[in-house]
Amino acid sequence: MTVRTAPTHELGADRLRSVRELLDTAFDGDFSDDDWDHTLGGVHAWIEDGRGITAHGAVVMRRALHRGRSYRVGYVEGVAVRADLRRRGLGGAVMAELERVIDGAYVFGALGASDDGAALYRARGWQIWPGRLEAMGPEGIVPLPEEEGYVHLRPATGRALPDPAAALVFDWRDGDVL
């Protein structure tokens, strides 16, 4: 099992098409064009076999405001494992590479976890953000109470997580903000 990493522009059209097919299948058709857009532009980690991509995840840069400071956040997107290979450590191997990227380039990592994926992240030390979540929208700051309880954070090595007494305000994007 070899985990490869590369920025989006180095994956090429065929590999990107294979990643999108994996994500569409893994999310039972609930992976939108906006979700796909959120997955692009960062560093991808993936495993492949003769049939294509077997596991994938990406980390993209986002900004989060907290107590008057803007942080570079490594936001994890598009994590999936092909159905016939789940529960064999592939998701953990992909996450280990993404966490290595986060440790080297960001203050902390963040991700929005599905119910199915949350156990993987908790087992790897990711913590549910217990504080308020907001986004800097086109009309100003927008509260995101529906996202609370689903967003997980992980400090980069040697760093601390933000103080949950103050809101974490993410940058705006189309589709699901978090």
User: Residue 101's domain is classified under what CATH number?
Assistant: 3.40.630.30
**HEC per residue, 56-121:** EEEEEEEEEEECCEEEEEEEEEEEEECHHHCCCCHHHHHHHHHHHHHHHHCCEEEEECCHHHHHHH
Quick one: average pLDDT of 75-81? 98
Q: Using alpha carbons, list the distances in angstroms from residue 12 to 32, 103, 174.
A: 20, 26, 25
Tell me, yes or no, whether 177 lies in a domain. Answer: no
Residue 140 parent element (H or E): strand 140-143
Tell me, yes or no, whether 178 lies in a domain. Answer: no
Nearest residue to 129 (alpha-carbon basis) of 73, 80, 45: 73
Report residue 33 as tokens.
């064009």
If pLDDT is split at 50, 70 and 90, which confidence band does 1 have? confident
Phi, psi of 15 (to 5 degrees): -70, -40
Nearest residue to 97 (alpha-carbon basis) of 116, 118, 74, 119: 74
Q: Which domain holds residue 155?
A: 4-171
Tell me, yes or no, whether 176 lies in a domain. Answer: no
- The phi-psi region of residue 70 (left if phi > 0; otherwise alpha if psi is between -120 and 50; otherwise beta) is beta
Tell me the per-residue pLDDT of 40-76, one tens digit each, with 9 for 90 and over: 999 999 999 999 999 999 999 999 999 999 999 999 9
If pLDDT is split at 50, 70 and 90, which confidence band does 31 have? very high
Residue 24 parent element (H or E): helix 12-26
pLDDT at 164: 96
Number of domains in the chain: 1
